[in-house]
Amino acid sequence: MNKQITLAMGNGGEENNELITKIFYKAFENEILSQSEDAAVIHGGELAFSTDSFTVSPLFFPGGDIGKLAICGTCNDLAMMGAKPKYLTCSVIIEEGFATRELEKIVRSMKHELENNGAIIVSGDTKVVPRGSVDKIFINTTGIGEIQKHGISSNSISQEDVILVSRDLGSHGATIFAAREGIELSTTLKSDCASLTHQVQALIEADVQITALRDATRGGVSAVLNEWAKQSNICIEVQEESIPVSAEVSGICEILGFEAVSLANEGTFVLAIKKEDEAKALEVLHSFENSSNALKIADVTHQYDGRVILLSSYGTKRFLDTPTGELLPRIC
């Protein structure tokens, strides 16, 4: 591993996995942490517990801001374990000179998303540091949720499952890039930043047989599928033509030289569900505006265990690897 921390180590891809595994997992190894889920399952399986830090640049972007992101991010991690968010903490590091008006706007966004999730902030901490010590504002949120459906795990995916995605990919990463670089688009492209609690609860209430859920944040869908393939020792075969990507995101990807499957999302999740429940799951997802174009993108096989294969409409195939390199730093 590199002897110094690089930006690539925070991208949600291969370097990030190496940093976590060789330093943090090595030091903090325990049975709960080793499950490598979006949230830890604790208290006899009754509660889900997760934490996340947010450093996005710019702070305000089409479709959201760092405050909305901070609540959605942690609540979504809880939802991915079948939990309903209940209690959150909020810690904020603020740079000297930051405008209180902007801080109030950020907090209003947080309040709105808390209400949307039915959760409350119950504890927190505030630090103000000298000018130049931090870039405007960093936020950490930690959440506890009540598990509504037990047994959801990315370590249990099998050939009995199919892989769905809740909506088109990459809009958050593309939006952040455009905003950061000052690219003026003649479209309505905006981040997909949104809470996913209601969609997950609807799937649970419809008794959909859910094996695993994961929101595709840093590293995008590509990172999720590769993590799942390794954790469950399976092969995931993705139909390339089924991957939903908007024209706007495709255009940004041409500028970036990236693939949409590797771009960050903040309101898009991947589902592994039993084959017989595919139609039922899609019917539930299509009832929500944020997942109205949900669809199946992959099957589970054992052709190349631990790998993800991308199948083209021309009959060719290639490995879809975990993203590497810097991608877009400060994305969330």
Question: What CATH code is carried by the domain that includes residue 185?
Answer: 3.90.650.10
Contact 157, 115 (CB under 8 A): no
Count of domains observed in the chain: 2
Q: What range does the domain containing 197 cover?
A: 161-319
Among residues 296, 312, 227, 221, the alpha carbon closest in space to that of 262 is found at 221
- Give 9-54 pLDDT, tens digit per residue: 877 778 888 888 899 988 999 999 989 898 999 999 999 999 999 9
Confidence of residue 83 (pLDDT cuts 50, 70, 90): very high
pLDDT band at residue 296, thresholds of 50, 70 and 90?
very high
Asked if 86 and 204 sit in the same domain, the reply is no
Same domain (yes/no): 66, 170: no
The C-alpha atoms of residue 259 and residue 277 are separated, in whole angstroms, by 29
* pLDDT given at position 181: 75
**Confidence check: pLDDT of 315 > 90:** no
DSSP string, 212-258: EEEE--TTHHHHHHHHHHHHHT-EEEEEGGG----HHHHHHHHHHT-
Q: Are residues 198 and 109 in the same domain?
A: no
Answer yes or no: is 7 within a domain. no
Give residue 74's pLDDT.
98
107-112 mean pLDDT: 98
Q: Which is more confident, 294 or 181?
A: 294
The residue out of 147, 175, 203 marking a domain boundary is: 147
Is 251 a member of any domain?
yes
Q: Which pLDDT value is given to residue 328?
A: 76
Q: How confident is the model at residue 77 (pLDDT cuts 50, 70, 90)?
A: very high
What is the distance between the alpha carbons of residues 268 and 265, in angstroms, rounded to a whole number?
Answer: 6
| 184 and 273, same domain (yes or no) | yes
> Which two three-digit tokens encode residue 143?
């959440």
Tokens linked to 129: 């540091």
My answer on whether 115 and 167 are in the same domain is no
Q: pLDDT, tens digit, for every residue of 231-289?
A: 999 999 999 999 999 999 998 888 778 899 999 999 999 999 999 999 999 999 999 99
Q: Kindly report, residue by residue over 56-76, the tens digit of the pLDDT.
A: 999 999 999 999 999 999 999
